[in-house]
Structure 1
C-alpha cells in the first residue's frame, strides 16, 4: 500500500494546523451539521471532516463511523486528497492500486467508494478534507461534487473563525454568545435541508454569521434570525430589496448596489466591509458576502451569502491605530525594548529595537502571541505573568525569548497595565540582558575552573560538598609520582605540560557527567556521578590499563560513597587507600 506523498509545504501546513488549536477537541454542532449535510446531499452513509496531523488523520466531525476518532496517516485516503486543490473521487477502492490493499478497504470499515474535497484555508494551506464514504462502489454527480466542495470551503472558513473567536478579548464575549446561539439555530435548519440547501450552504460557511437569500425571479429576500438581529429587527422579518439596501450608510449604498449588479451580470461574488445604520439608528460595520446561485439551465437563480457584525473588530483596529500613533515616536527612537500586548499576550505593537534584537521585522511580530517566541515549557510561566500584571497592574522580572535564528535572548522587563481606555493593554519596557547573563555564566565558570588544566578547582569541590544531595558517588584520588623532580629538572613549563596532559588523560577515561578536579599541585580527583554497582572499579580498571598513555607515572586510591555518606568521608577514605597503595610499590618519574 503506497502511502501518500508528503506535501511540499508540510512544515508550514502542520504549524498552521497547530495554530488552529482544534485537534482533539470535542464535537461542535456546526461541523456536525456540515458532515450531516454532506451525507444527506450525496446519499452516502459516512461523512467525515478529517484533519491530517503529522502521523494521523483525526476526525473533527464523524457521521456513520461510530467509535472511531482517528486513523494512521499512512492508511488515510484524505492524506492523498490534500496533495491537490481539487476534489478526489475513488469509484472503487479495490480497483485502485493506491488503496487496493489498504487496511481500511480490506477490513473495517470496508471502504469501496470515497470522495473528498480539500479543506483549504485562506492562505492556501490544506488542513484535511470533508469526505463522504460508502461501502459500495459508486460516483457523485456534478451537483454533488460542487456541493461537497462548497461544504469543504465552509468547514475551512469555520475553522479559521473558530480560532479567531478563541482569541477575542473579554470585550467581545457577548459576540461569542451570539455565535453560539447561531450555531444552535443551525440545528433547526436540518429539517429544511432538502428545500433550503442553498441557504444552508451559504450560512453554514461562517460560525455565528447571519445568512440571506435573494430570489431573482420574485425579488423576495429571506433573512436568517441572526441577520435580523444584526439589523435590530425581530426574527422572521422580511424586507424588500430597496429596504435592505437602504440600511447601508449613504456612502456605502453605491458600493453594495454595484456589487449586486456585477454579480447578476457576470457571476462575480463580493466580500465587503461597509458601514450600516440599523433599524434603531445604531451605526455599525458589517461584513457582507454574496455570490450567485445558478439554476440547472445555467441562468442565475438567486443571490445568497453571509452577513456579520464586525463593529468590535473595526474598533479594535481603530484603537490599535490610535495607540500606534500615540507611541510611534517613542517606539521609533527608544534604545530600549518596548511593546504593547493585550491581556492574552497578543502583540499589538513592537518598537524597531525589539524586533531587531530578535531578528524579525515589525510586521512579522505584530498580531502574534508572545508564546510564539518562547519555548513550550515556559508557556505556563507566561500565563502566570499575565495573571500577575492584570491583577497587580504591573509586573517585573526576566523573560526568555527565541530569536528568528534560534538563539535565546533574556529580557529584563517592567510592564504596566493601561486600563484607562475602552480596550485595556499592557505596556512593556525591557532591556536585553543576554550578554550580561552570559558574562555572569562565564564568570561563574572561571571561578570554578583551574586556569591551567581546565579541570574543576577546589572552589567547585567546596560548593559540591556544601550542596551534596543524597547520591552515590565514586571518588578516585590521583597523585603524580616524582612530579617535583620534573619541575626541578626540566622546569615549570614542562611541569605545566605534564599537568595539562594528565588532565586530558583523566578526562578521556570518564563520562561527560563526571568531574575531574585539580586539588592543587600534583593532586587530582575524579568524581563519578550516580556511580552504580561496579562503576568505580570499572573506571579505575580503564585508567590502570592505560597507564602507558599517561604523561607521568601516578598512584591512585578509590572508593564508592553510598547514599548518606558525606563527600569528606569519601575523600578521606580514597586518600587513605592512595597512601596505602604508594607504600606498597616504588614510584618512578617519567
Structure 2
C-alpha cells in the first residue's frame, strides 16, 4: 500500500464528513434498487477508513453496520479502476479463507464498483473511498447489462456523496449565517442600548432616492415613535426655516464636493420640546461614486445647558447676578468696535454706591449684600433695561449705554439713573440710605480705546464725588447732574 496515496485517500474521505452519520433515505433507496435490479440478497454502500469498512447503507445485513477492513471485499475494490467481480469466493485464493466467506454472511458472489466522487483539492484518480456492491450466497455471473446497471448505480452513489457534502456545507453556512445573524443582532441590541445611553442615533440619506433612514434613537430624539421613515423635507421641518436652508446647503456641498459637516442647531420635537442637537455627516461611496450621506445625530441639550451654565458662571457676578468685570470688558470692546464701524455713539457710566460702607458697618455684610442685589435689580429695569450693566467689584458698577436716544440726551439719562439707584435700609429702628454717584463719558467720534474711555469716565466719577456724593458728571461737561429731588445746593 502506498502510504502517501492512502493518507490522501483518508483525507478525502474525511472531507465528505459522512462516516458514522445516520441513515439517509436516498442512500437506502439506492441500495434497495441495486438489490432488486440485480436480484441479490445483499447490497451495500460501504466506505473504507483506516481500520474498517462502514456501511452508509446496507440491505440484507441485519443490524451489522461495519466489519474489519482486513476482511472487507470492498477494501480490495477501492484499488480497482473499474470494478471487482468475484463469481465464486470459495475458489478465489484471495477470499477462500475469509471469515465472511466461511462464516456469516457466507459470501460466494461479490461485484463492487469503487466510489471516487469528485472533491476540490483532491485528485480524482486516488483509490476509492468505498464501493457500491452486491453480494450473493451462491456463485453466479452478471450479464454485461447487469454490470452496466451496477456501474450506473455507482455513478449515482458518487452524486449522492457529493450532494451529501454539499448539504453539510450548506448546513454549515446556514449555521454560520445564523450565528453571525445572532452576533449581529446582539451587536445591534448593544448599539441601540449605547445609542440610548449616549443620546446618539445614526442616519442615512440616499442621494439617488433622497430617502432618509433613521435608527431608533433618532426617532426618540425627535419625539416620534419608530415607524414610517420621514422624507428629507419632513426631517428638516423640525428645524427653524433659516437653519433648514443652511442644512440643505451643507447636504448639497457634501454630495457635490464630498465635504463632511459637523454642526449644532435647535429643533422643536414632535411633542413640542426644544432640544439642542448635533449632526455629523460624510459621504458614503459605492463603486467609487457618492451613494449616500451617512452620519450620527446626538441630543446635546444637557451638555449645551451645562456649557451655558459654565459660561454664565464664568461671566457673571455670583452675588448680584450681573455680568462681571471680565464679561463687561469683553462686551465693551465688542460694542466699541461695532460703534466705530457704524459711526454710532456709546456712553459709559461708572457707578459708586454712597452709604454702602455705613450699611455694612452698622447692619452687617448680609444687609450690604442685600443692597447690592437690590441695586442690581434696579439696573435691569426702567431706563437701564436697554443698557448693559455689570458689577466691577465691591460697590462699583458700570453701565454700557448704546441706545442712540439715551446717548443723545445723556445728561437726562444720568439723572434718571441717579433717581433710580436709591435704596433705604431699615433695621432695629435705624435707617440708612444708599444712593449712587455716576461718572459718564460719551464717545465723540474720535477713535478711543476702552482703556481711555474708562479713564475718562473714572475722572468724571472722581469730579462728581469731590463736588457732591449722589451726583453725576459727564466727562468734558462742567455742570454737575443731580437727582430730580435734590437741589444743586
Structure of greater Rg: 2
TM-score (norm 1): 0.40
TM-score (norm 2): 0.48
Higher relative contact order (CA 8 A, sep 6+): 2
